[in-house]
Amino acid sequence: MNYLGFVWRQWTIKPRPLPPTLSLQGKTALITGANSGLGLEAARALVSRRLSRLIIAVRDVSKGEAAKTEILSSPDASPTCKIDVWPLDHESYESIAQFGKKVDELDRLDYVLLNAGVKIMKYEKTLQGHETNVQINHIGTSAVSLAVLPALRRTARNLNTPTRLTIVSSEGHFWIPFKERNAENILARMDDPKTFEQGGNCLVDALVQHEGSHGAYLSDQRETRPSPFVVSDEGEKAQKKIWEETIALLEKEATGVNVSLA
């Protein structure tokens, strides 16, 4: 994949609609960043498939409530779907910890779509001292993913049903040289300053379709091989190093968040 190929696919590939027979009755789904954009469209798509409960996790609860009203007013929305709006700030470990406690209280959790993210073009730091894009898109998202795993595992085990954690990613890793991979601490180096319906269906397709695609990278609704670097020996080492650094950082900074995979 390259940038020209990406642009070509944006103009030539039309995402497939979800199967008309798809029913999510009895299921519970959670989406972060569902108050606008593709997250909102994914929420609409889930609720139109008879989803029983939807949790919208957003930074601004008032915007989440507005999204809830908009979703329920959609012509295809299931009138029986219960929608909850929960606060979640990826920049705040305390917020993530409180969010994790609420998730642990759920009687079931079938699907989690981590869609929240930012693209800030100027250099900014969070209160934790990390570059904002890195804090929200990677560190915070990693903490949230660890917070929801116990509930997903419990649901799968107790109800004998497959559950799914889907994280919205980017094709940017195909185009940009990963120069930071050789740094002693990759995350620390990345903190240094540096000089709509069809899309929603794509997210839901990745969330509820493709059984057996555990750990796969999906693009254009197909399992796709990641960039050559990602699957190379060097890429595997970089992934392992970044994850170890992420866990170590969360254990140090996010003391209220359970980051255990056990």
- What's the domain range around 167? 3-13+25-177+196-227
- Dihedral sign from CA coordinates of 128, 89, 140, 220: negative
Q: Is 72 part of any domain?
A: yes
- How far lies 226's CA from each of 28, 104, 139, 222, in Å? 30, 33, 21, 12
pLDDT of residue 195: 44
CA angle at 163 for the pair 249 and 112, rounded to the nearest 5°: 55
- In CATH, what number is assigned to the domain containing residue 119? 3.40.50.720
20 assigned to some structural domain: no
> Which helix or strand (DSSP H or E) is residue 53 part of?
strand 53-58
What percent of the chain clears pLDDT 70, i.e. is strictly above it? Answer: 89
- Give me the residues of the chain with pLDDT under 50, please: 194-195
In this structure, is residue 56 part of a structural domain? Answer: yes
Q: What is the pLDDT of residue 249?
A: 92
Asked if residues 34 and 46 have their Cβ atoms less than 8 Å apart, the reply is no
pLDDT of amino acid 162:
95
Q: Is residue 190, in this structure, part of any structural domain at all?
A: no
Q: What's residue 176's pLDDT? A: 66
**Helix-strand-coil split of the chain, %, nearest 5:** 45, 10, 40
Q: How many domains does the chain have?
A: 1
- Is residue 182 in a domain? no
- Is 242 among the domain residues? no
Whether residue 31 lies inside any domain: the answer is: yes
The answer to whether position 239 is within a domain reads no
Chain segment 204-262, per-residue pLDDT in tens: 888 988 877 788 888 878 888 888 888 899 999 999 999 999 999 999 999 888 888 76
Residues 6+ apart with CB under 8 A from 121: none
56 beta partners: 31, 85
Give the sign of the dihedral formed by CA 166, CA 167, CA 172, CA 177. negative
